[in-house]
Amino acid sequence: MSDRTVRILRPDEQRAAWDLFRAALHVQPGTDEEWERVSAAYSAERSWGVFEPDLIGTARSFDAEMVVPGGARLPLAAVTGVGVRVGRTRRGVLSALQAAQLADFAERGVALASLYASEGTIYGRYGYGIATLAKRVVVDKHRAQLRPDVPAGGEVTVLGIDEAAPKWPELYAATAMGRVAAMTRSDVYWPGYEAQTRRRAKLVQTAVHRGPDGVDGYLTYYVEEDANDHAKLQVLALHYANPAAFAGLWRFLLSVDLVDEIVLPMRPLDEPHALLFTDPRVAKTERTNDESWLRLVDVPAALAARTYGPAEPVVLEVSDPSLPGNDGRYRVGPDGASLTEEEPALRLSVDTLAMLYFGTWRASSLAGTGRIEVLDPAAPAAADVLFGTRESVWCGTFF
């Protein structure tokens, strides 16, 4: 086998990496115009390539922060653009990329890494676990009527994409950080988001909601028709800071004419769409999927940063084959988490700890399916309370 090199891409190699990634997703190479928009999303020192000697694999990330239970924000590496050239898959290329990325994250003091997985069987072996879930909601607009006691909401202004795109960063920052697992969006994020949004349709609109204290919600959408002239309003983004803004944006959605269905592809599990309507059945949850996957790069820092529920402390024994510095026993209780020499009550791998971390999955369920080894029968119930969160966690940022 030829020599293999894993290294940071030079600026003149990033276009080829972008095209390689697109090809891995069975998408044709992008145009010069598209690359001009997307190129700003490639952070210096964050884009990796595998060479043999030609480029055969790539992965990149960008820096952000993520909200953890209790409200603290931890440094996050958002992993994206992962692809291996056709004919070079299943030869350790992805493993080489992951090893280089994780070592870099650890060296830089990044506590968390996150990604959206194209396949569900890939990333568990690198320590990622399903951390958030989302539901696809479809509303029958012809039958949907708001209940009379739904809040009236405020004023809504509609902007075209050229006017709205420069405002998206401030709109997002003002409305979208209220949930656990929400993440900040740096300047590097927005060029790629804009390019992807512009590819959706010729007419993309942004509706901005203003309440008594100013902007408190917004949504981005477009309308498309299928072969049967059935018009669907596709909601690309929906963020709000309070119930009045949520209701006000729904009043706006229901006011858009020449629409048969309103489609929201990935929403929090506990978002109460159906409760807005006189007939709750007009809002159907078609399916629930994994949303973001989480990797605890620095287990001690991640466990120490979040808060815990009122239950007896539990000692976790964590194993991390990729980053053995995370191996150890951690005492987790209402007063926090720290390394300990005490005997473990639960034994688990770092990918399972990622599933437990936000409270999306209960320790008792993970134990019941064999993902956690139980050494103390009382520990799973205690861990359910310790790691539980009040509302559904949701990232809300696709990358």
User: Do residues 377 and 244 both lie within one domain?
Assistant: no
Q: Looking at the domain assignment, is residue 217 inside a domain?
A: yes
Geometric angle at alpha carbon 132, from 331 and 208, rounded to 5°: 125
Residue 123: inside a domain: no
The predicted structure's pLDDT at residue 198: 92
pLDDT at 121: 95
Based on the domain organization, do 45 and 183 belong to the same domain?
A: no
* Residue 153 and residue 270 in one domain: yes
More confident residue, 320 or 38: 320
Residue 1 has pLDDT above 60, yes or no: no
**pLDDT, tens digit, 9 for 90 and up, residues 373-394:** 999 999 999 999 999 999 999 9
pLDDT of residue 321: 97
Residues 139 and 214 in one domain: yes
CATH code of 350's domain: 3.30.1050.10
Q: Does position 2 have pLDDT exceeding 80, yes or no?
A: no
Range of the domain at 188: 134-289
66 lies in the same domain as 148:
no
Residue 264: per-residue pLDDT: 98
Residue at a domain's end among 235, 264, 289: 289
Residue 227 has pLDDT above 90, yes or no: no
Question: What pLDDT, on the 0 to 100 scale, is given for residue 395?
Answer: 98
Give the span between the Cα atoms of 314 and 365, in whole angstroms. 16
Residue 125 lies in a domain: no
Structural domain count, the chain: 3
Residues 142 and 215 in one domain: yes
Mean of pLDDT values over 227-251: 96
Q: Which residues pair with 270 in a beta bridge?
A: none
**Mean pLDDT score of the chain, rounded to an integer?**
96
Higher-scoring residue by pLDDT: 363, 201: 363
CATH number for the domain spanning 61: value is 3.40.630.30
Provide the token pair at 279.
Answer: 């007939």
- Is residue 144 domain-resident? yes
pLDDT of 363 above 70: yes
What average pLDDT score do residues 228-236 get? 95
* 115: in domain: no
Within this chain, do residues 175 and 249 fall inside the same structural domain, yes or no? yes
Question: Where among 110, 143, 168 does a domain terminate?
Answer: 110
Rounded to the nearest 10 degrees, how much is the dihedral formed by the CA atoms of 361, 363, 367, 373? 130
- How does pLDDT run across 128-161, given as a tens digit for each residue? 999 999 999 999 999 999 999 999 999 999 999 9
> pLDDT-based confidence at 3, cuts 50/70/90?
confident
Please indicate, yes or no, whether residues 76 and 29 belong to a single structural domain of this protein: yes
Percentage of the chain surpassing pLDDT 70?
A: 99
Interval 166-203: pLDDT, tens: 999 999 999 999 999 999 999 999 999 999 999 888 89
If asked whether residues 144 and 284 sit together in one domain, one would say: yes
Domain end marker among 237, 265, 289: 289
Q: Is 151 contained in some domain? A: yes
Question: What is the identity of the amino acid at 242?
Answer: N
Whether 168 and 270 map to the same domain: the answer is yes
DSSP string spanning 169-216?
Answer: HHHHHHHS--STT-B---TTHHHHHHHHHHHH-S--EEEEEEETTEEE
- For 266-300, how does the pLDDT look when each residue is reduced to its tens digit (9 = 90+)? 999 999 999 999 999 999 999 999 999 999 999 99
Q: Is 388 helix (H, G, I), strand (E, B) or coil?
A: coil
Answer yes or no: do 104 and 143 share one domain.
Answer: no
What is the enclosing helix (H) or strand (E) of 224?
Answer: strand 214-225
pLDDT in tens, 39-85: 998 988 999 999 999 999 999 999 999 999 999 999 999 999 999 99
Are 281 and 303 within one domain?
Answer: no
**And the tokens for 334?**
């209402």
